[in-house]
Structure 1
Amino acid sequence: MSRVLVELMPLALPFLLYGLYIWHLKRNGRDGPRVTPWFWLAAIGMTLVIAGMIIGGLIFGEAPGQYVPARFENGKIMPGRVK
């Protein structure tokens, strides 16, 4: 569940910030914009998601080596590892 939240946070961030902006305007007695910029909020969110995937791939790329899957050996389960 936490992984889903971490991956969806960049998409939701522009909407949350816009909501805080509207809340701040109404709290101070000002009128907000008449039309909500849904397209731009979604576009900024998707840009953040794509940038996060690219940066995450560059920083936390694949581990060097070959993955050896978990196996059953001598009555015990041996965990998977990178060789």
Structure 2
Amino acid sequence: MLRLVFEQIALFSLPFILFAGWLLLARRSPLDGAEWKPQWTRLVLAGLFVVVVSLVMTGLTGERHAEGYVPPRYENGRLVPGHFR
């Protein structure tokens, strides 16, 4: 679960990293707030778009289990772990 959160944070930050790279290539300072201020909304929307698209694609192409998940249960006094059928 933590890996998924880190992946989504990395995907959200991708437009910001690309914009900073573009500023470096254009020989502008990526540390100057005046360069970022007009683009802030666009970068946030682009980051959210990338995250939503990645979640949708994961949902569409993720592995499916026909029988579903069987939760953990007790049988004859022993704990049987959960599993997919």
Unaligned runs of 5+ in 1: none
Moved more, 64-73 or 49-58: 64-73
Cα distance in structure 2, aligned partners of 1:11 and 1:17: 11
**Pairing partner for 1:71 from 69, 73, 78:** 73
TM-aligned CA deviation for residue 65 of structure 1:
1.4
Amino acid aligned to 2:69: Y
Identity %: 28
**Pairing partner for 1:55 from 36, 54, 57:** 57
Count of equivalent residues: 79
TM normalised by structure 1 equals 0.73
Cα distance in structure 2, aligned partners of 1:19 and 1:31: 9
- Counting only pairs closer than 5 Å after superposition, residues 1-83 of structure 1 correspond to structure 2 as 1-25=2-26, 30-31=27-28, 34-36=34-36, 37-60=39-62, 62-74=64-76, 76-83=78-85
Cα distance in structure 1, aligned partners of 2:28 and 2:71: 59
Moved more, 35-44 or 70-79: 70-79
Cα distance in structure 2, aligned partners of 1:31 and 1:19: 9
Which structure's residues are more often helix, by fraction? 2
TM-aligned CA deviation for residue 70 of structure 1:
1.3
Deviations 1:26-56 (A, max 9, x none): xxxx335943201111111111111111110
RMSD: 2.3
